[in-house]
Amino acid sequence: MTTILVTGGHGLVGQAIQTISQKFESTDYNFVYISSKDFDLTDLEATRKMFSIYQPEYVIHLAACVGGLYKNMTQKVEMFENNILINYNIVKCSHQYGVRKLVACLSTCIFPDKTTYPIDESMLHLGPPHESNDAYAYAKRMLEVQCRMYREQYGCNFVCVVPTNIYGHHDNFHLEDAHVLPALIHKCFLAKEKNEAFVVRGSGKPLRQFIYSEDLAKLSLCIMFSEEPIDTIILSVPEEDEVSIETVARLIARQFDYEERIVFDSAYSDGQYKKTASNAKLRSILPKFYEFTKIDEGIRETCEWFKASNYDHDIRK
């Protein structure tokens, strides 16, 4: 039986892979989902122990120290060092334990701040990332470099995927540490509950490409099972599906019937205005009939999941 190890297996994308991968569950594949509670991936010996126990043939590496704009700006040392350690350990052990294929997850925030659009895979190292998330971005860049070095020196089949902004069921909805879309869902929920204004930090003008977590899960598995030689590849909705934060906020508010109470607070930083990514490379290997989940449908699904979730843990903090 082939073992597929998924780090960060209980997070947003890991949960989506659990849902999508059910059709692969058979005598041929054994999916193992690892969370931070199982092993400390910043520790090399703990990471080696994990590989020794499960002996995976494939690894989907999703585990990371992540957070929203505030965390990226105020905890730069932790964001850099923890991610460097996690990624170093996973890649090194994947080589040492003879993993047939590693699919490692990056982020479009790693691309240069000053660049031309749309961004493509060749532009990754052509300038510094935006200062608001440079610590996380540089750590993720080093993951791409490390995978490339192992491909070049040892012929390892180590692939880096670069998703745009991910959202969906099982996201982190913490008000300060979450990414923009889940944080806005939580804020709108609380605003309506308290009969207060739904305050969106910033002008609402920045543009983003959002990818639904189940789409990303499907694409990650597609890359993993692909026999085509692939190195680094952007996983994104098309350029024309880029939307403003204001559009996202209004779609969320509509799900709570609270659109008339939106307020945009321009005293807060917008962060990077845009980071439009090309999915031309992805489209070249995808079936022509593949359709991404539309943003209004994905937001509706995510809001419904949030409303139906149990609020007895950290989700309401």
Is residue 278 within 8 Å of residue 232, measured between CB atoms?
Answer: no
Q: Supply 224's token pair.
A: 């993993």
Name the residue among 171, 160, 166 with its Cα closest to residue 60.
Answer: 160
- Confidence at 317, pLDDT banded by 50, 70, 90: very low
Residue 110: pLDDT over 60: yes
User: pTM value?
Assistant: 0.90
Q: Where are the domains of the chain?
A: 2-167+210-239+277-290
Mean pLDDT, residues 48-58? 98
| pLDDT at position 311 over 60 | no
Whether 163 shows a pLDDT value over 60: the answer reads yes
Distance CA 174, CA 212 (A): 19
- Higher pLDDT: 314 or 237? It is 237
Question: Is the model's pLDDT at 255 over the cut of 80?
Answer: yes
Q: What's the confidence (pLDDT) of residue 315?
A: 47
Please compute the mean of the pLDDT values over residues 228-232 and round it to a whole number: 88
Q: What does the mean pLDDT of the chain come to? A: 91
> Which residue reads 């701040």 in tokens?
113
Q: Average pLDDT, stretch 240-244?
A: 95
What is the full DSSP assignment across the chain?
-EEEEEETTTSHHHHHHHHHGGGG-SSSEEEEEE-TTT--TTSHHHHHHHHHHH--SEEEE-------HHHHHH-HHHHHHHHHHHHHHHHHHHHHTT-SEEEEE--GGGS-SS--SSB-GGGTTSS---GGGHHHHHHHHHHHHHHHHHHHHH---EEEEEE-EEE-TT----TTTS-HHHHHHHHHHHHHHHT--EEEES-S--EE-EEEHHHHHHHHHHHHH--S---EEEE---GGG-EEHHHHHHHHHHHTT-GGGEEEETTS----S---B--HHHHTTS-TT--PPPHHHHHHHHHHHHHHS--SSGGG-
Percent of the chain, pLDDT > 70?
A: 95
Confidence of residue 27 (pLDDT cuts 50, 70, 90): low
Query: 2-7 and 29-34: which strand pairing?
Result: parallel
Considering only 62-66, 270-274, 289-293, which range has the smallest mean pLDDT? 270-274
Q: Which long-range contacts (CB under 8 A, 24 or more apart) does 33-39 make?
A: 33/6, 33/9, 34/5, 34/6, 34/7, 34/8, 34/9, 34/63, 35/8, 35/9, 35/10, 35/11, 36/63
Cα dist from 131 to 78, 85, 109, whole Å: 15, 21, 10
Closest listed residue to residue 60, CA positions, set 108, 25, 9, 12:
9
pLDDT band at 93 (very low <50, low <70, confident <90, very high): very high
Tokens of 10: 């209980």
Q: Both tokens of residue 292?
A: 């991404």
Architecture of the CATH domain 2-167+210-239+277-290? 3-Layer(aba) Sandwich (3.40)
d(CA 168, CA 179): 11
State mean pLDDT over 44-59: 98
What residues are labeled active site? 136
Provide the residue type at 81 as one letter: E
**pLDDT over threshold 80, residue 26:** no
pLDDT at 71: 75
Q: How confident is the model at residue 84 (pLDDT cuts 50, 70, 90)?
A: very high
Average pLDDT over residues 111-117: 90
Strands 243-244 and 207-208: antiparallel
Distance CA 129, CA 111 (A): 6
Query: Per-residue confidence at 313, pLDDT binned at 50, 70, 90?
Result: very low
Mean pLDDT, residues 127-143: 93
Q: Which residue has the tokens 């996690």?
A: 86
Q: What is the CA radius of gyration of the chain?
A: 19
Q: How confident is the model at residue 23 (pLDDT cuts 50, 70, 90)?
A: confident
User: pLDDT band at 176, cuts 50/70/90?
Assistant: confident
Distance CA 144, CA 93 (A): 16
